[in-house]
Amino acid sequence: MTAMTRRHLLAAISGATLAGTAGASAQTVEKTLIGAARSKNLTYGAAMATWQTDRDATLRRTFDRQCGVVVPEWEMKWGTIEATRGTRNYAGADRVVSFGASHGLACRGHAAIWYRNLPKWVEPALKVEGVKVMEAHIQDLMAHYKGKIKSWDIVNEAIEPKDGLQDSLRDSPFLRQLGPDYIARAFTIAAEADPAIQPFYNEYGLYHNDSIDQARRTAVLALLQKLKQQGAPIYGLGIQGHLNIGRPFDPSVFASFLRDVAGLGLKILITELDIDDRSLTQTISERDRLVANMATAFLTTALSERAVEGVITWGLSDKYSWLNTSTYQKRSDGTMNRCLPYDENFQIKPFWYSLYYAFRNAPPR
């Protein structure tokens, strides 16, 4: 039996999960997020960490049935791979890749160059030795995953208008020690190390209709234009999609940003979708309804743009979301943030249907 046939069969059997809301047709009609996405030549996947999949068979099964892509939530970051200089440890990241392979999931690489989760030794080393420190990291990463990972976040979150620097570049160890060209340089190093990869620039805060996100949209667009002009080998823009329900979303503003990015000849991927409901004080079901409404507005707009290739959510279940596991971000009323398509007991929520129908209703690629 092929992996695909097995997946379809499992999806049909798993009708039990959906039967409560979808009725008898769930027994025969495939209803999975990846199935809906693939029907339009799109992709769907989610982030995870091995501490989650190691202990949770339901999570593993949900990945197996619902996803086509897996992304390491932290195992592939520089701070995890090389906390101590010269001791590169790929054990955790490799386990994510092999979890993906054994469940028929492609793994996305996240993230080669990021100012956070950066080992303390990096900035002093950059100061003394320059670009070769960044080069060594990217080259080793690309060599290690050659043929295994195609879609890569090469540079993550390099823009921060609030820092007040030239071109709204973020005040990071890379900018301080290497200057503004480190971004183009990172792309060149990565593509030379493995010409088969799809190198992405990944960024957050590009969706809300307020002055904060507007400033970041303008700066990111200018950065992408510059990278294209310089001939940097960039494949696409990763739009994280950490939405906040308390902030405004205007489909036409977001659509025009997507059009501008696509106009540069870049592909787009929604790379880290979740919807933070901290500002909502209503009942759980009302919160779920409002979250799903925002998801539908966001996803319908995103998928209407033909350059958008798919959606990754930053986790599957609220139980493991970074918004519920990191203490500084928790809701103050003690309830779970209802930010992802599955609740803490792996029941599908209205958000799941927002994803499902956004895929089903998307124009085909």
How open is the CA angle 239-241-243, to the nearest 5 degrees? 150
Shortest Å, Cβ 45 to ligand XIL: 15
Shortest Å, Cβ 130 to ligand XIL: 26
Nearer to ligand XIL, 33 or 112 (CB): 112
- Active site annotation includes 73: no
Residue 185 class from Cβ within 10 Å (0-12 exposed, 13-18 middle, 19+ buried)? Answer: buried
Instruction: Check if the beta carbon of residue 48 is closer than 8 Å to that of residue 61.
Output: no
Shortest Å, Cβ 174 to ligand XIL: 15
Nearer to ligand XIL, 26 or 268 (CB): 268
Nearer to ligand XIL, 272 or 318 (CB): 272
- Active site annotation includes 344: no
Nearer to ligand XIL, 7 or 216 (CB): 216
User: What is the rounded distance in angstroms from the CA atom of residue 357 to the CA atom of residue 35?
Assistant: 11
Shortest Å, Cβ 338 to ligand XIL: 17
Nearer to ligand XIL, 115 or 254 (CB): 115
Shortest Å, Cβ 322 to ligand XIL: 3
Nearer to ligand XIL, 152 or 204 (CB): 204
Identify residue 79 by its one-letter amino acid code.
G
Shortest Å, Cβ 321 to ligand XIL: 8
Q: Find the catalytic residue in 135, 157, 305, 309.
A: 157
Chain position whose Cβ is nearest to ligand XIL? 322
CA-CA distances (angstroms) from residue 136 to 122, 200, 286, 298?
12, 19, 50, 38
Shortest Å, Cβ 74 to ligand XIL: 5
> Which residues contact ligand XIL by CB under 6 A?
73-74, 111, 156, 204, 240, 272, 322
Q: Find the catalytic residue in 75, 135, 272, 305.
A: 272
User: What is the rounded distance in angstroms from the CA atom of residue 176 to the CA atom of residue 123?
Assistant: 9
Nearer to ligand XIL, 116 or 228 (CB): 116
Q: Which residues are catalytic?
A: 157, 272
